[in-house]
Structure 1
């Protein structure tokens, strides 16, 4: 988690509710409802991680545009004579493109709309970067998603972020913005593309025409309709299941299926053994041993039914992937899972006791 996000994350932890999708995508949540958990859920359970990757890549494109304008603004300031640096006209356009020296807004970015308007008006007329630039990363293979999720290119406090690197090698050019926009179009939107996502044809046509048409746009605003559509699709189709899986439970489907199989086998074995002991008229002290397999069976069946392992939840752990457990850090989720765990444990003990008493105290009869 980037250092600049810590205050917002700490403030968000005080909420007495589940987070919404925007908070998850904005990295204002922690495990088990963090962005990494949502990414795994979209990949392993929804099988639609391309939608989330598209949303993240468009957000990364926005960060690249902000970085480009920030560098452009600094270059103009450095090239401006000392007597002209105080001129409002010399930096008004760039300041209002989202990279002015304001510290009161969201990290100095005044407006994404102004940023897009400036990039459209710039039209590739400015070149302030050397040959080595971010274009080598954009036009090549897509970087691993985990590195993007841990990188905050808009963080003024992160010494490793591009915004703080004074090296010219990290200065994006206008060609890099266009390469990034084209890569998003050719990777996700065009029919038959490598990771095609389904969006309305009207939105696809507008984006394609803006990038490949006469305008030759690369500003982030051109992706807004597609980004909004993808966000609404994830919010409607995937996010409720994610909250149910991670906010009300702490097991993944593979683990739940294994527990169900073990529970049913244990229950069958315990019931078969219990009937044998009854029909052999064994004493109750001997029949008490069936408590063990019945307890295992009922516990595993309950964990499958509730998607919750109450013992793991009470000690504060949730399952990311099969047999990979991590601590629960969202206070509201921890409180909710603890309450559900106590309830499910009570029901488990009640059912287990009833079944064991039935097979232990029933009168035996030798056949």
Structure 2
């Protein structure tokens, strides 16, 4: 979930958001994660990449919750005398204390983690899970390694919160995340998106996929660093191929493709009716008060043809609404996007007005001829 500070940043941000800000839920409609999910599903037709990102982010959150709860339970439940007597307890406590306080923030691509402290914290988290996994029993008999055990989400399902919490069995009271949950989460990602022939397989470099498969199945790893190369690759692909089109559609316009095509059809019909009526009143030498009626079809035609050309409905932009799906409108809440759309709506409305006025004046004042 986005923190209150992130919403303060929204008010101060005088620019379009970045992809990472959208994925980490730091933006508002119509450039929020929900809008991006719909765009990837309906227009880009590559929602599996976004689902992979969300599942890997949830896996990182799951690991962070697990380590935080483990650290808390060990510190509270282990008496000082037992810590001193037990070498294993002492070693675990030392490892947990070295981790420090794990922040519950959205995990981003490693190349965007400019803060050395954050990179180091994620590295120590993965190292701890690897060391703990080496002492755990993840034999083939105990592993949840059955591809049929996982149900994939349909394309109509919406993004889930990535807090990573779930109910599971644990030997420690009060735990909401068990160690097996982390293993199951890693295997679910593997069997859903990465194994060749899987139902929602995403296209990644073959060497990258082979490395991840070996790390999970052969080395029994389930720490977040296993998916870092694939996560960075998917992020760069979305940033390069999908995100510019998303900003073009949502920050510079407020219509979906089906609505845009419908407006083109209405514009052509209105232009046809307007020109038919205009030539009729001119060729029949009708008086100017009757010719003024040609303003109506030309105004409608100009409005819709400009909406088609610039992919924006000026009237809906002025009242602060953007189209999510066909004829499904929602308020524009991102301040900078609203200002941007208002400026574009003003320009497009002026173009529509001038087009309609020019055509109307032409046919109203042109000399008539009686045929």
Q: TM-score range by the shorter chain?
A: 0.7 to 0.9
- For the structure 1 residues 83 and 104, does the alpha-carbon distance in structure 2 shift closer, same or farther, using more than 3 Å as the test? farther
* 1:262-341 paired onto structure 2 within 5 Å: 262-341=266-345
Query: Does the 8 Å contact 2:48/2:202 carry over to 1?
Result: yes
SS of the residue corresponding to residue 329 of structure 2 reads strand
Which of 332, 354, 358 is the matching residue for 1:354?
358
1-structure distance, mates of 2:315, 2:59: 43
Q: CA deviation at 1:92?
A: 2.5
Which residue, out of 110, 118, 127, partners 2:128? 118
Question: Which residue among 10, 31, 41 is the counterpart of 2:29?
Answer: 31
Aligned-partner SS, 1:53: helix
- For 1:126-145, list aligned pairs within 5 A: 140-142=150-152
Give the secondary-structure state (helix, strand or coil) at the position aligned to 1:326.
strand
2: CA distance, partners of 1:217 / 1:105: 23
- Please say if residues 284 and 361 of structure 1, whose CA atoms lie closer than 8 Å, have aligned partners that are also in contact: yes
* Stretch deviating more after TM superposition (304-313 or 80-89): 80-89
CA distance in 2, matches of 1:76, 1:347: 68
Which of 181, 185, 188 does residue 180 from structure 1 map onto? Answer: 185
Q: Return the offset for 1:150.
A: 5.4
Go from structure 1 to structure 2 and tell me whether the alpha carbon gap of 1:82 and 1:149 turns closer, same or farther (over 3 Å shift): farther
Q: Deviations along 1:98-152, whole A, 9 cap, x unmatched?
A: xx3478999998711111111111116469xxxxxxx9xx954346899984535
> Could you say what secondary structure the match of 2:351 adopts?
helix
Q: Which of the residues 229, 237, 242 maps onto 2:241?
A: 237
For the structure 1 residues 49 and 168, does the alpha-carbon distance in structure 2 shift closer, same or farther, using more than 3 Å as the test? farther
SS at match of 1:93: helix
Which stretch shows the higher mean deviation, 233-242 or 284-293?
Answer: 284-293
* Contact preservation (8 Å) 2:37, 2:158: no
CA distance in structure 1 between the aligned counterparts of 2:78 and 2:166, rounded to whole angstroms: 23
* Contact map agreement 2:254 2:311 (CA 8 A) in 1: yes
2:64–2:104 contact (8 Å) kept in structure 1: no
Deviation at 1:67, TM superposition (A): 1.8
Give the TM-score taking structure 2 as reference length.
0.84
Q: Is the 8 A contact 1:32 1:247 kept in 2?
A: yes
Structure 1 vs Structure 2 CA RMSD: 3.1
Query: Is there any run of 5+ residues in structure 2 with no aligned partner, and where?
Result: 108-116, 138-144
